[in-house]
Structure 1
Amino acid sequence: MKRALVAGVVIAASLVAACAKSARPPVEAPVGPHRPEPVAPEMIPVMMPMATIAMPGTRDTLQYLVDSVLAAPMWRNARWGILLVDAERNDTILSHDADRLFMPASNQKLLTAAIALQHLGPDFRWRTPVLLDGTQRGSVFHGDLLVQGSGDPSISDALRGGRASSAFDAILDTLQARGIKRITGRVLPWGDALPGATTGFGWAWDDFDAGYSAAIDELTYNEGELYLHIVAGSKIGSPVTVRRAPTERYPAVRIEAITRDTATSAVSAIAPRPMPLSVVYDSIGHQVVVSGTMSQGDSTRVTLAYRHPSDAFLAALGDALRARKISVQGGVIARPAPHGPGRVASRSTKRAVAHAIDTLGVIESVSFADVLRRMLKPSQNQMAELIFRTSGYVASGDGSLDSARAVGTRTLAGWGITGQDVAYRDGSGLSRHDYLTPRAVVRVLDAMHRSPWYAVFRDGLPIAGVDGTIANRMKDTPAQGNARAKTGTLDKARALSGYVTSSDGRLLFFSLLCNNFSVPTREVERVQDLLVRTMAGGTFPALPQ
């Protein structure tokens, strides 16, 4: 035990010394209020031994580390919540403010994933029927094409082999097999499976243009992300060119930016500073304005959110129809008048009374297990929100935010997590109104460990030193390839919670939450990584009875 404490002293003292050495005026990591989960950079070399404690008495060493490190002046304004538990023995190894509420950031996705597995199961698939409302005469269909969304998050480049529009292929094949070359009506959304707001409760309005803060709806395309490839003109003073993807014509783009001489990029006393390139939406979000200047020969790619998710989905379907030379005379309209059981144009609905609406085909998602991995490993916010809303819809028949919160709260209560332990406001953790305790997180981890879907849940989590948001953390330590954990990042909030197996084969649950710090985010990660790799390399014999 003495050797363990000495080792702890060396590591803790080295960490505190290294932190103090780096305590020059801190430059805050470039994390906006709601930045998406980044993959952490390689560990910055510090004067801290990389060897992990792996000897009897690890629980005492961990306690010493926490007491010593968190006593450092750099943490005087921060709040830490820590809970480490032996899974099989239900034995608390270490607890520090484990019953206080913390902003979890994307650790909220652990709750969302667990609740969804409870209500959906790993084999669940979203279905998006595509309907024909009208009659066919020869190669012309007289009527509308309707799309009945249910919140499928998998119609994206990431889950469709690099081509989100491949989800439409079977529908287009069927249209061509029927000989339809022209649709006289419109392409319209049908139904309102996810009513109400398209963004989460308490999301920051100034993040709405960012891809990680994109809105969601029952029709969502490419995880809400639009890519703009911008290239400077061939001549000085000529406009830049802009190419959109994955939608080809949506949204509208107004180009005001011009090409400047490369030499004018340098700031001088006699030349004014050139205007930087700016890419923003107009006030209603239907047009992107590209302004400023760009050096001759330069190019860049900008990621924006689709402000109106259903518009983007239907625009992409319109692109796919044009590529197959199927014209839509009435165009693509995303917001028809409300009517009956859902949103649909009144003209189309009245016609539906005279004849049956024909199901052209159904777009089916990949399995929920595949969606879960895509949500957890890179921490994909829009998928989390769609999963959150889908859980509410499947459990109650109502896909609103209120229903999703109510279903989630009831499910958590069944695992012993009450209103004193959690404020469950959205699915992704982007809301700064989300709060939970480290003990609540550990109870979710325990509930999943006892669930028949444990392997699906565990395999969806990022793996230390291997993939996801901790691909570059804890490398060359016993935690690499061992710890499976979810990160969380908001401004002044950092989280890491999950599973790790010790050197003597004990499965451990851990939740490490930190709020209100003013040091660089990487300093929080140092402490988290130190504790996880110490658990991975340690031994945890049973306590004497």
Structure 2
Amino acid sequence: MRVALAHYLALFGFLLSVSTRAQPTAPAAPRPAHNPAWLEQLLQESGVLRRHQVGVCVADVATGQQLFGHQESQYFTPASTMKLFSLYAGLQLLPDSLPSLHYVQRPDTLLFWGTGDPTLLHGDVPSRRAFTFLQTYPGQLVYAPVPTAPVYGPGWSWDDYNYYFQPERGPLPIYGHTVRFYGRAGQPLPKVLPRFFRPLTQPAPAGMPNPAQDRVRRQEQENRFWAFPAASNWVDETPFRTSPALLLQLLQDTLRRPLTLAPLRLRPQDSVRTLRGLPVDSLYRRMLRVSDNFLAEQLLLMGASTLSNDSLSTARTIRVMQARYLRDLPDAAVWVDGSGLSRLNLVTPRALVALLLKLHQRVPEPRLLSLLAAGGGQGTLRRVYRDARGPWLWGKTGTLTNNHNLVGYLRTKSGRLLAFSFLNNNHVVPTGEVRKEMERILVQIRDRM
């Protein structure tokens, strides 16, 4: 009897342990092993930082252990540091080269549509792969628009439509969806590229209001551009209004051959193919180093093109990433766009550090650091975080009015690589003052941790 009872108890204990192991558990936020008093004191005693919301998280990359946290579980507006989420989406969803076009070959006809690839005749990361493919195809060209995310993301500022940092999103961008202007002192009209927009550019009428001191002003709902006189040479870049009809005109103008616009209707016998373009790192590097919003937005659309052949949805890419690859973040991100232009995005400092750790596991360290801006080296950090011995900090900045953030990696004097997030929201002093205080504290972290 006692033996039987012992067997029953052992069996019950085994089943209980198996049942317990099988239950899903929510990922726990890493807790600091210790909070260095000197670092907390630096933050608390800063006359600049104590007047606004500050969140800091620091972890050891080698062990994943959190070393310091200050409001690390609070949600902040991340601004362009959201591009690190876009990078992670690209790494998970895209192959080694960008998908440039989807197409179907039929007798004497090529039916093609966009994947969101932004590099077609782009001014900074130009690719001619799709251009050459379309230009040399022997049959008729038929372009099919596909359902795509709205041209502007949720929560974007409507009155930024005129500025280079907010081009419209689209399935098959051309020229980066911007017009480039090259003005000369004393000349009434600048040089205009692409040339298609020259007839649409005129000198600004005398007395036309220009409170923002713009070089070029576009009519809000149409592609008419006003150029203001200047006493010195200048360069400007202004987004144009997009549409399938305009894309067809621009393609015909540059390819020098006719195209037809038609709905996308696939037949059972159609074989959908993908034309490959530039290596992905050429886009990642430009997007992260100079914080290119347009490339980040299009990156999420390209991710969507790998999930569906006939539609491009930013929201779908975000849902898939959160469900498949980001469930173990300590705090779920409120993620609505690819660039961070929207103030609807919300992330905690410790979630950003957890993302940095995932990126470091996913990408070899030399490649990962080469994609980011480097202190005293290149990109948005080229004038700050300098050291005569070479770069010691690599990261992604995020700046909106009254918000300035920095997320990345730093190498300590002892040789450790640390992942950190340093978020500043709702400051009212000039951004330069916040940046200087951040640098003072991050130098202390480099020297003392």
TM-score, normalised via structure 1 length: 0.66
- Name the residue aligned to 2:155: 202
| 2:154 alignment partner, SS class | coil
CA contact (8 A) 2:161 2:220 kept: no
Shift in Å at residue 255 of structure 1? 1.9
Partners of 1:506 and 1:154 lie apart in 2 by: 37
Task: Report the identity percentage.
Answer: 23
Greater shift, 94-103 or 444-453, is seen at 444-453
Of 273, 284, 287 in structure 2, the residue corresponding to residue 372 of structure 1 is 284
Shift in Å at residue 158 of structure 1? 1.8
Of 424, 429, 432 in structure 1, the residue corresponding to residue 343 of structure 2 is 432
Shift in Å at residue 282 of structure 1? 2.5
CA contact (8 A) 1:232 1:298 kept: yes
Q: Does 1:496 align with 2:430?
A: no
Of 100, 113, 127 in structure 1, the residue corresponding to residue 100 of structure 2 is 127
Partners of 2:279 and 2:90 lie apart in 1 by: 13
| 2:278 alignment partner, SS class | coil
Instruction: Write the mapping of 1:199-278 to structure 2, written as runs, cut at 5 A.
Output: 199-231=152-184, 240-245=188-193, 247-250=194-197, 253-257=200-204
- Name the residue aligned to 2:79: 105
- Name the residue aligned to 2:321: 408
- Name the residue aligned to 1:157: 123
Instruction: Write the mapping of 1:393-472 to structure 2, written as runs, cut at 5 A.
Output: 393-395=305-307, 399-419=312-332, 422-452=333-363, 455-472=366-383
Seen in structure 2, the aligned counterparts of structure 1 residues 154 and 515 have a Cα distance that, compared at 3 Å, is same
Seen in structure 2, the aligned counterparts of structure 1 residues 462 and 312 have a Cα distance that, compared at 3 Å, is farther
Q: Does 1:288 align with 2:225?
A: yes
- In the alignment, residue 98 of structure 2 is paired with which amino acid? R
Shift in Å at residue 310 of structure 1? 5.1
Instruction: Write the mapping of 1:74-85 to structure 2, written as runs, cut at 5 A.
Output: 74-85=48-59
Seen in structure 2, the aligned counterparts of structure 1 residues 71 and 248 have a Cα distance that, compared at 3 Å, is same
CA contact (8 A) 1:252 1:288 kept: no
Shift in Å at residue 230 of structure 1? 4.0
Partners of 1:415 and 1:227 lie apart in 2 by: 43
Q: Does 1:118 align with 2:92?
A: yes
Q: Deviations over 1:96-117 (max 9, x none)?
A: 0000000011110111111221
CA contact (8 A) 2:101 2:275 kept: yes
Partners of 1:362 and 1:231 lie apart in 2 by: 43
| 1:481 alignment partner, SS class | coil
Give the RMSD, CA atoms, in angstroms: 3.6
- In the alignment, residue 465 of structure 1 is paired with which amino acid? G
| 1:404 alignment partner, SS class | helix
| 2:148 alignment partner, SS class | coil
5+ residue gaps, structure 2, are 1-33
Partners of 1:195 and 1:91 lie apart in 2 by: 41
Q: Does 1:530 align with 2:440?
A: yes
Seen in structure 2, the aligned counterparts of structure 1 residues 82 and 226 have a Cα distance that, compared at 3 Å, is same
| 1:111 alignment partner, SS class | helix
Q: Deviations over 1:419-450 (max 9, x none)?
A: 3xx20111110001001001000100111122
Q: Deviations over 1:133-174 (max 9, x none)?
A: 885xxxxxxxx87542111122213223xxx667523543x2
Partners of 2:89 and 2:128 lie apart in 1 by: 30
CA contact (8 A) 1:232 1:259 kept: no
- In the alignment, residue 401 of structure 1 is paired with which amino acid? T
| 1:512 alignment partner, SS class | strand
- In the alignment, residue 176 of structure 2 is paired with which amino acid? E
| 2:374 alignment partner, SS class | coil
Shift in Å at residue 315 of structure 1? 4.1
Partners of 2:184 and 2:275 lie apart in 1 by: 35
CA contact (8 A) 2:101 2:130 kept: no
Of 387, 390, 395 in structure 1, the residue corresponding to residue 302 of structure 2 is 390
Greater shift, 225-234 or 437-446, is seen at 225-234
Partners of 1:531 and 1:232 lie apart in 2 by: 44
- In the alignment, residue 428 of structure 1 is paired with which amino acid? S
CA contact (8 A) 2:407 2:420 kept: yes
Shift in Å at residue 207 of structure 1? 0.6
Seen in structure 2, the aligned counterparts of structure 1 residues 312 and 476 have a Cα distance that, compared at 3 Å, is farther
Q: Deviations over 1:374-395 (max 9, x none)?
A: 1111111111111122223424
Of 452, 460, 476 in structure 1, the residue corresponding to residue 387 of structure 2 is 476
Partners of 1:132 and 1:242 lie apart in 2 by: 42
Shift in Å at residue 83 of structure 1? 0.6
| 1:308 alignment partner, SS class | coil
Seen in structure 2, the aligned counterparts of structure 1 residues 251 and 104 have a Cα distance that, compared at 3 Å, is farther
Instruction: Write the mapping of 1:315-394 to structure 2, written as runs, cut at 5 A.
Output: 315-322=249-256, 326=257, 328=258, 338=263, 340=265, 364-394=276-306
- In the alignment, residue 306 of structure 2 is paired with which amino acid? V
Q: Does 1:168 align with 2:131?
A: yes
5+ residue gaps, structure 1, are 1-58, 136-143, 235-239, 261-272, 342-351, 541-545
Partners of 2:262 and 2:252 lie apart in 1 by: 20
- In the alignment, residue 144 of structure 2 is paired with which amino acid? W
Q: Deviations over 1:64-112 (max 9, x none)?
A: 2442344344444300000111122333322100000000111101111
Partners of 2:326 and 2:102 lie apart in 1 by: 35
Q: Deviations over 1:307-338 (max 9, x none)?
A: 2165665444323333xxx5x3xxx77xx575
CA contact (8 A) 1:228 1:244 kept: yes
- In the alignment, residue 151 of structure 1 is paired with which amino acid? G
Seen in structure 2, the aligned counterparts of structure 1 residues 73 and 458 have a Cα distance that, compared at 3 Å, is closer
